[in-house]
Amino acid sequence: MQKNIRNFSIIAHIDHGKSTLADRIIQECGAITDREMTSQVMDTMDIEKERGITIKAQSVRLDYVKDGQKYVLNLIDTPGHVDFSYEVSRSLASSEGALLIVDSTQGVEAQTIANVYIAMDNDLELLPVVNKIDLPSADPIRVLEEVEEAIGLDCTLHNLISAKTGLGVKDLIDAIVDRVPAPNGDEDAPTKALIYDSWFDNYLGALALVRVYDGSIKKGQKIRLMNTKVEHQVIGLMYPHPLKRQDTLEIKTGEIGIVVLGLKTLDGIAVGDTMTDAKNPTLEPIDGFEPAKPFVFAGIYPIETDKFEDLRDALNKLKLNDSSISFEPESSAALGSGFRTGFLGMLHMEVIKERLEREFDLDLIATAPTVVYKVEKSNGEVIEIQNPSELPEPNYIKTIFEPYVKATILVPDEFLGNVIKLLNDKRGIQIKMDYLGKRVLLEYDLPMNEIVMDFYDKLKSTTKGYASFDYEPVGFRPGNLKKLDIRVAGDVVDALSIIVPDDKAVSKGREFVKALKELIPRQLFEVAVQASIGSTVIARETVKSMGKNVTAKCYGGDITRKRKLLEKQKEGKKRMKAIGKVNVPQEAFMAVLKI
């Protein structure tokens, strides 16, 4: 019955215990026996288990009996990492309530605050939960005060739990049943369901995970997708479960389920689209989500050039499962044919590259990540560029606009000086600074370009890992930027071009050429490695030539014979230098990416 359904998500910062709590709730409801139980049972990808992070939001349907009444709990476990906040917003759109989990030893973190605001935008019932109370350093009372102070959430009703030992989990499930509202929808209205995830199954074809708002979806029904206007037959229906999905004949109002459409491709199934009855459609679609906007762009190229089509196929399949990636073909003189791919952040880029290599058995190389810039040309035209090599010549540019983000950083006060120095180095603009007990909440406007490379690593190392960081885009602002080109033997290597602030161009150029000098193999002639802005060279290193002893066969005799051979060698080297080509090895690209 609809009044006995509870749809809820779990939100928290990284490592505050979302997936572990999901395990305990699943066990408490008896959906998985102790023998079948593994840790982080909701994290199904190998890469999730290895890194100990959740990448994809996962759903499970659970049965729970309270006071003789049977309830259905639809639990959605969400990622905590800033790069996957897109997954969180989709999950929260399909829920009526959310468990806000805070670590009793660490307190409120940057991502906690970000996720709470998404939940508040969706008018969800928030249940404050303090986890890890079994640890000796736990201080739940201080943490609850911090939640009230930082977020303004009333914590009079709260739950103290230990997801590891299962302490307090049963009371928490009772609280979910009592406090999360039942879904409200009209059972007699035409079918109206929101697709909030999709993926490809080798046996069943394209699958769509939906939340039904009105009416119901029945097996054999003909449905229409309102955005793409495509019609499909429902081949099968299932309830989600990490180990054994349950077949059903109907998904009713307020329920969550998997719709099997038997399609060979995911074309036409868009996350955020509304599914309705083909014969008796609903009038208004559900407000979908904003399509995810990629922030970070990088070229991805197969190391074996004949694998280009395999890479295209792999990206298409992965896009079914992760709709936030975008890609278009591009070619580079240095690396051949590949794809310019858009990601939500650096971790997202790493994960996608690793998934492509593992799941599709490809060897890939990625170029230096860049962000999208807007360029106003001297004739007034405004263009967007994702690749530094597309930047027009300096005399055609009026202004370059770069994307900025609002960064929220929580840091213990003893590291405040280090963090402010780092933010100033990264061209940050301070907006606010608040003290929360022994920690400081900083808000800064930062250029996105400064974050994509190594900002997160530096922040963690300057604060011994105690700082937490979250960001959201705030638009474009004019910047004093230049394109830095790397020339090897006079030729520009397009894959190594980057856009840098004017005042850092010389130091960056020197770093680049120094690293490349060590990596470019020696030739029979001298090779100049230069960093240039436009036609002005700002840094140079020389790879010395390999010597060949041409006078070895001259022993004794007239010096002019040796001189003649050496002059001949000199001429040859001069000619080679004029026409010689140098291949930049793959290691050189990898090394420069590390800079």
Task: Give the separation between CA 290 and CA 272, rounded to whole angstroms.
Answer: 8
Identify the CA nearest to 12 among candidates 145, 121, 148, 104: 104
Cα–Cα distance list, 342 to 314, 327, 460 (Å): 15, 6, 25
Which residues are known binding-site members? Answer: 15-20, 131-134
In the 8-state DSSP scheme, what is residue 322?
-
Residue whose C-alpha is closest to residue 138's, from 40, 20, 16: 16
Half-sphere exposure of 27 (CA within 13 A, CB side): 20
Note whether 196 and 189 are within 8 A (CB): no
- Sign (positive/negative) of CA torsion 450, 454, 456, 462? negative
- Angle (deg, nearest 10), helices 140-151 and 110-121: 60
Please say whether the beta carbons of 62 and 31 come within 8 A.
yes
**Token couple for 165:** 């030992």
What are the Cα distances from residue 202, in Å, to 57, 264, 357?
20, 9, 18
Give the 3-state secondary structure of residue 559. helix
Span between the terminal Cα atoms of the chain, in Å: 58
| Phi/psi at 539 (5° precision) | -155, 150
CA–CA distance, 449 with 451 (Å, rounded to integer):
6
Distance from C-alpha of 250 to C-alpha of 221, rounded to nearest angstrom: 10
185-189 contacts: CB < 8 A, separation 24 or more?
A: 185/2, 185/212, 185/213, 185/214, 185/253, 185/254, 186/214, 186/215, 186/253, 187/2, 187/214, 187/215, 187/216, 187/252, 187/253, 188/215, 189/214, 189/215, 189/282
For 121, the 3-state DSSP assignment is helix
Regarding beta strands 397-412 and 364-366, do their DSSP bridges make them parallel or antiparallel, or are they unpaired? unpaired
Work out the angle at residue 53's Cα, subtended by the Cα atoms of residues 587 and 327, and round it to the nearest 5 degrees.
Answer: 55
Binding residues for GTP: 15-20, 131-134
Partners of 394 in the β-ladder: none
